[in-house]
Amino acid sequence: MADIVETKLETSEAIPEHTYPKLSILQCLGLGSGGIPDIGMQYAMKNMANPIFNVIYGVDPVLIGIAFSLPRFWEILIDPWIGALSDRTHSKMGRRHPYMIWGGIFGFLTFAMVWFVPKGMSATMAGWWLIAFALAHFTAYSFFMVPYSALLGEVSTVPSERMKAMSFRTAFVSVGTFLMGWIYWLCQRDCFENTAEGMKYVGIGFGLLLLLGSVLPIFVCKENRKYHAVAEKGEEKLKEFAVLKELWALKSFRGILLAIFCLLTCSLLVSNLGFYISLCYMFGGDTKAVAILGGISATINSTAVIFFCPVVNYCAKKLGEKPTLYLFMVIAMIGYILTFWAATPEHPYWAIYTGILGNFGMTAFWVIMPALTGELGREHEKETGHSIYGSFYAMYGMAIKIGASVGLLFTGVILNLTGYHASHGIAQPESTIFLMRVLNTVVPTVGMLIAMYCIYVSLNRVKKAN
């Protein structure tokens, strides 16, 4: 394991709070645009894997689950190394930008190429094809995400400015979610020979958007060279795992990591069930109707998130971070519970409204948690003299990926345990559909409750520390 260079600041040379000017709207827009590849590189390939590789190519759901859990475990191994590598990099482009560019380029290439499955390939080989490209794609994502997250965390020394940057990122995440929601619908246009053929062209177009979102933050928001000029004095070397051990020892940060893990694991365990509930229960096998519902739902929910972000910021300033989180997360749980009764053949579009409620909690979570991580990084820097935002956000990303890995690993298993068989088509047993609906409601609700408890413990410790 390579050594990393950590920046050790003398007390007399500590960076003052006014080092960074107030972020302009253009800078916030540029920084936020990275939210599109952030969400797109994580979920676009995964979202389309079942409609393309399972429904069309006949790949076993368990193999698809492995395809999207194995790369996340791989990311867990390389994220600390990428964070340390970024922290110690001294180049004309800065510490973060070079890796963001390469991550964006390879993210585009792997997303565009995965849909070009060779003709005549067996279902099993198509599954291995997906696994290979997923590994390459998520490696590219790590090289973009870790430096990008660190850039957001160190963009300002003022907590309110960091939260503003996170809010713009979350708003652009909703733009990416909107675009992903219409991918399946676009693939089925009459101008394409079939859905699989359409996905090839749509994949190239969406991949280019991922690339654009990866490079825009670089051109709009440059790294503060004056900051790094001070930080490079008095460097010392530490081991990556020594840094990880040091960060894990921070009880407040550990609570944040556990909350992320629980929330994502439970959410992703049942993430595929919504597609099959819509296909087999709500629309009776009409794939185009399923695609339209997905597109409309993504459009409405992603638009709502854009409006939620300033609301979250306002509430956090007026009520405080903890009450704001609890309020929005309780609303989200109400939405999860109502989904059981809303998603029906008689009123399929009612599910959109429950999705909006769920987005309340997720918006608050993904705005406040990264901002709080940046604040912990700043406090750690003041106390120890170590500027290791890259390592902080590497661990933050690790929590996301461990949760995603565990959740995605068992998505196919959960689907099979409900009694679902692809050979039955839309004629699935009533007990299978009922169990899908129950799990789709209960599992995310439990995950949200556990995350709330972890946040309660974590924020209390932060408050006491402050």
d(CA 269, CA 413): 9
Long-range pairs for 352-357: beta carbons < 8 A, 24 or more residues apart? 352/293, 352/296, 352/297, 352/300, 352/301, 355/297, 355/300, 355/301, 356/300, 356/301, 356/304, 357/331, 357/332
Place of tokens 């053949």: 345
Is residue 320 in a domain?
A: yes
Q: What are the pLDDT digits (tens) for 73-118?
A: 888 888 878 877 887 777 777 788 889 999 999 999 999 999 999 9
Structure tokens at 87: 């922290």
Q: Are 23 and 155 in contact (CB under 8 A)?
A: yes
Place of tokens 């440059």: 222
Please give the DSSP secondary-structure letter assigned to residue 237: E
Confidence of residue 286 (pLDDT cuts 50, 70, 90): confident
| Residue 306 confidence (pLDDT) above 70 | yes
More confident residue, 408 or 348: 348
Least confident stretch, 32-36, 121-125, 362-366: 362-366
Structure tokens at 389: 């935002």
Give the strand pairing for 236-239 and 3-6: antiparallel
Confidence of residue 203 (pLDDT cuts 50, 70, 90): very high
Mean pLDDT score, 121-150: 92
Predicted confidence at residue 91, as pLDDT, reads 75
| Cβ neighbours of residue 236 closer than 8 Å, sequence gap 6 or more | 5, 6, 8
Q: Are 277 and 433 in contact (CB under 8 A)?
A: yes
Confidence of residue 139 (pLDDT cuts 50, 70, 90): very high
Predicted confidence at residue 310, as pLDDT, reads 86
Could you tell me the CA-to-CA distances from 89 to 34, 93, 243 in Å, in that order?
Answer: 21, 10, 17
| Residue 18 confidence (pLDDT) above 70 | no
What is the rounded (10 degree) CA torsion for 23, 24, 25, 26?
-110
Is residue 14 in a domain?
A: no
| Residue 230 confidence (pLDDT) above 50 | no
Place of tokens 């932060």: 462
Place of tokens 């994580």: 42
Per this entry, what is the length of the chain? Answer: 466
Closest of 174, 213, 205, 173 to residue 187, by C-alpha? 205
Mean pLDDT of the chain: 82
Predicted confidence at residue 246, as pLDDT, reads 74
Is residue 399 in a domain?
A: yes
Predicted confidence at residue 143, as pLDDT, reads 93
Q: Greatest CA span in the chain, whole angstroms?
A: 72
What CATH number is attached to the domain comprising 299? 1.20.1250.20
Predicted confidence at residue 421, as pLDDT, reads 79
Is residue 111 in a domain?
A: yes
Is residue 184 in a domain?
A: yes
Q: Are 36 and 172 in contact (CB under 8 A)?
A: yes
Predicted confidence at residue 16, as pLDDT, reads 46
| Residue 49 confidence (pLDDT) above 70 | yes
Mean pLDDT score, 20-24: 71
Residue type, 13: E
d(CA 103, CA 194): 31
Mean pLDDT score, 129-156: 88
| Cβ neighbours of residue 120 closer than 8 Å, sequence gap 6 or more | none
| Residue 3 confidence (pLDDT) above 70 | no
Confidence of residue 250 (pLDDT cuts 50, 70, 90): confident
Mean pLDDT score, 130-156: 88
d(CA 331, CA 233): 48
Q: What percent of the chain has pLDDT over 70?
A: 87
Angle at 400 between CA 262 and CA 463, to 5 degrees: 70
Range of the domain at 434: 29-228+238-465
User: Reduced to 3 states, what is the DSSP secondary structure of residue 118?
Assistant: coil
Is residue 359 in a domain?
A: yes
Place of tokens 């827009």: 29
Predicted confidence at residue 466, as pLDDT, reads 53
Q: Report how many domains make up the chain.
A: 1
Please give the DSSP secondary-structure letter assigned to residue 386: B
| Cβ neighbours of residue 273 closer than 8 Å, sequence gap 6 or more | 414, 415, 418, 436, 439, 440
Mean pLDDT score, 11-38: 71
Predicted confidence at residue 2, as pLDDT, reads 35
Sign of the torsion formed by the C-alpha atoms of 181, 123, 429 and 443: negative
Q: 0.85 cut: is pTM over it?
A: no
Is residue 54 in a domain?
A: yes
| Residue 419 confidence (pLDDT) above 80 | yes
Q: What are the pLDDT digits (tens) for 346-391?
A: 888 888 888 889 888 888 888 888 877 777 777 777 777 666 666 7
Closest of 159, 149, 215 to residue 389, by C-alpha? 149
Burial code (b: 16+ CB inside 10 Å, e: under 16) for 86-125 equals bbbbeeeebbbbbbbbebbbbbbbbbbbbbebeeeeeeee
Predicted confidence at residue 104, as pLDDT, reads 94
Structure tokens at 41: 């590189």
Q: What is the DSSP string of 274-334?
A: HHHHIIIIISTT-HHHHHHHHHHHHHHHHHHHHHHHHHHHHHHHHH-HHHHHHHHHHHHHH
Q: Are 207 and 111 in contact (CB under 8 A)?
A: yes
Q: Give the number of other Cβ atoms within 10 Å of residue 244's Cβ.
A: 18
Structure tokens at 12: 């007399």
| Residue 138 confidence (pLDDT) above 90 | yes
Confidence of residue 228 (pLDDT cuts 50, 70, 90): very low
Confidence of residue 239 (pLDDT cuts 50, 70, 90): low
Is residue 4 in a domain?
A: no
